[in-house]
Amino acid sequence: MNRPFNMPDEFVDGFMKAGASLWRSLGGTANGERDDAAVSSPLGASGRIAELQADYLKGLYQLSEHIIKSAAGGQSEGGIETPRGDRRFNGADWRENSLYSILKQYYLLNSRYCVDFVEALDLDEKEKHRLRFFTRQLVEAMSPTNFVATNPDAIKMATDSEGQSLKAGLDNLMADLGRGSLTITDEGAFEVGKDVAASKGAVVFENDLFQLIQYEPATEQVAVRPLLIVPPCINKFYILDLQPANSFVRFAVEHGMTVFVVSWRNPEESCGHFGWDDYVEHGAMRAIEITRSISGADKVNAVGWCVGGTILSSALAILRTRGDESVASVTLLTTMLDFREPGDLGVFVDEESVLQRELTIGKGGIYRGAELGFVFQTLRSKELIWPNVVDHYLKGKPPERFDLLFWNADVTNLPGPMYCWYIRNMYLENNLREPNRLTMCGTSVDLGRVDLPAYVLATVEDHIVPWRSAYRTTGLFGGDTRFVLGASGHIAGVINPASKNKRSYWVSDERCEEPAAWLAGADEKPGSWWNDWIGWLKPQAEEQLPARTQLGSNLYPPGESAPGRYVKAKAG
C-alpha cells in the first residue's frame, strides 16, 4: 500500500497495536466493549491513575489562577516553563503575548499528562515502550507550533509577505506529496565526490555487493597494518568522509594509516536475492582478504559501524573458528550485538510484523530505503520532522544546506532476504549473543572466539543503539576490550572531529557486569574520542614504513577514482 511520505506498514501496525494496548489496559475488550471488572482491577486499585488525574486538575487550577492574575496585571508564580532544550517555543510571542503563552502552557500541561498517564499503566515493558513511543509521536504532532493558525511566526511571515509565504509553503507541500517524502535538506546543495566523499583514492576491487576504496596516503610514513572500515549497509559510507573538517577517513589517513573502506552497493531489484551470508562472506570477509593482499601486511585492523559492526563481528567469529588470524584488532562504533534492549527501533518489531515481511520479501525483493528513512526520522521527529514541516509548509522557506542532513536523505535499499534474516535473528530472537546458535556461511558462530583487542564506542544519547546494549559487547568478545562512551547521539557522537575539541567522552579500565556500575566509576575526558582511539590503535598497527605512491597492486589494480559509482546510485 502506498502511503504519504513513505510511511511503512510497521509504523501503521505499531500505531494500531499501541492503541489496542491502551484500550485493553483501560478495561476494553476485543469486541470493542468495556469490561467493568477490568476497570476495577489492580490498575484502579493502585491509585496511580487517580493520583495522576488529581495532579492534572491541580495543574489546571494553578495555570488558570496564574492566567487570571497575569491578566489583572498582578505578579503570579506557577506558569509552566518550556523544558530545557525545547526550541519550539523560542519566539518572543510565546513569552510576551498572553494568548500564545496560555496556548503553550496548556499544551505543555496536557503533554505531560499524556506521558505520565502511559507510565502509570499496568503493561509489560515491550507494550509500554511501544505505547510510550507512539504517544510521543502524537504529542509532538499536536504542538501548536505545527499549525498556521497557532504559530505566531508563521502568521507574521504571512502578513509581512502578503500571503506569499503560505503560497510557497503550499507549493513545497504539494512537491513533497508528489515525490512521496518529506524534504529535510537541500538535496542539490552537495555533489557526492566533489563536496562530500571527496578524499583522494581509488576503487581497487568490486563485486556485485560492494566496491573497496583505498585512499591516498597523507604522510611519508604509514603503519605496516592497514585499516579497513565496514560501514552500515543501511546508509552510505560517506558519513565517514563528509567534508575535510569532519572526515574520519581523513583523520585516520593524516595519522599514518593506510585506509580502505567498503562502499556497499545500493541494491535494486536484480539484487533482491542477497542474504545475510552474502554480506558476511562476499562483503566483510572478502574485503579483509583483499585489504591484506594489497597491503602485504600480516594482519589488518578493522572498524565496523552500526549494522556494519554486526556484519564485521559475525565475519570475525567465523574467521577465528576457521583458524584465520588475519585481523589484528576490531573497533566497533555504536554497534549492537546483544539485542535484548533494542531501543526505539524495537517498537516496530514483533513476530507478526516480521512474518509479514518474510512473506512479502523474505524470499526475494527489496525493502525500500525511503520507508526505512521514514522510520529513522520518527525516532527524532522533534528534530527531523516537525521543524521541517514548520519551515517548509507553514513559512514557505527553502530547505537548509547541511551536509549531515544531505547524507541522511541519501537513502539506500536493502535486499529483502538479508533484511528479514537480520530482523528476525537479531531484533526479534536475539540469537547472535548465544554461542553456536546461529550458523553463517556454513560455520557455527560464537562471538567468544573473537579474542582480539577490541575498542567499543557507544554514545550516551544514542536512540538507535542504546549505549547499555553496546556495553554488553564487553561480555561477548573473548579478548581485551576497551569501552568508551561518547557524548551526543548515534551520528553526532561518532562524527566528532578531534580538531574542534568539542563534547567529551567517558573511559574506565574497570570491567563491570552492569553498564550503570561502569559509568559510575568512569572518568569524563574533554574533547573527541578520536584522539583516544588513535592512541589505542597505533600499537595494533605495528611499526611504520615508507608510504606507497601507487594504490592497489598487480592483482588488484586501481580502477575508477574514489568514491566510485556504487555510492552515487540513488535508491529507486
Instruction: Give per-residue pLDDT as tens, 146-183.
Output: 999 999 999 999 999 999 999 999 999 999 998 888 99
For 365, the grid coordinates are: 525483493
Q: Spell out the domains of the chain, with CATH numbers in brackets.
A: 4-148 (no CATH), 202-368+410-568 (3.40.50.1820)
Q: Are 123 and 131 in contact (CB under 8 A)?
A: yes
Place of cell 547521539: 489
CA distance 187 to 477: 41
pLDDT at residue 76 in the model: 46
pLDDT at residue 45 in the model: 34
Q: Are 207 and 286 in contact (CB under 8 A)?
A: yes
| More confident: 1 or 256 | 256
Tens-digit pLDDT profile for residues 54-90: 888 888 888 888 777 766 665 445 568 888 888 899 9
- Is pLDDT of 29 > 70? no
Percentage of the chain surpassing pLDDT 90?
A: 77
Tens-digit pLDDT profile for residues 325-349: 999 999 999 999 999 999 999 999 9
CA distance 94 to 88: 10
Residue 194: Cβ within 10 Å count: 9
Tens-digit pLDDT profile for residues 519-565: 999 999 999 999 999 999 999 998 899 999 899 999 999 999 999 99
Phi, psi of 204, deg, nearest 5: -110, -5
Pairing of strands 481-486, 454-459: parallel
Place of cell 497557532: 150
- Is pLDDT of 476 > 50? yes
The whole-model pTM stands at 0.92
Residues annotated as catalytic are: 306
- Sorted by sequence, the CB contacts under 8 Å of residue 532 that are 6+ apart come out as 484, 505, 507, 525
CA distance 359 to 504: 45
Which amino acid appears at position 286 of this protein? R
Phi, psi of 302, deg, nearest 5: -120, 145
pLDDT at residue 72 in the model: 65
Phi, psi of 424, deg, nearest 5: -70, -50
pLDDT at residue 6 in the model: 72
CA distance 38 to 45: 11
pLDDT-derived band at 8, boundaries 50, 70, 90: confident
Mean pLDDT of the chain: 91
Pairing of strands 227-230, 259-264: parallel
Place of cell 499501541: 18
| More confident: 195 or 68 | 195
- Is pLDDT of 1 > 80? no
Provide the β-strand partners of residue 330: 302, 454
Pairing of strands 210-215, 523-526: unpaired
pLDDT-derived band at 39, boundaries 50, 70, 90: very low
pLDDT at residue 143 in the model: 96
Tens-digit pLDDT profile for residues 278-304: 999 999 999 999 999 999 999 999 999
Mean pLDDT value across residues 411-430: 97
Q: How far is CA 242 from CA 237, 251, 497, in A?
A: 9, 12, 11
pLDDT at residue 60 in the model: 87
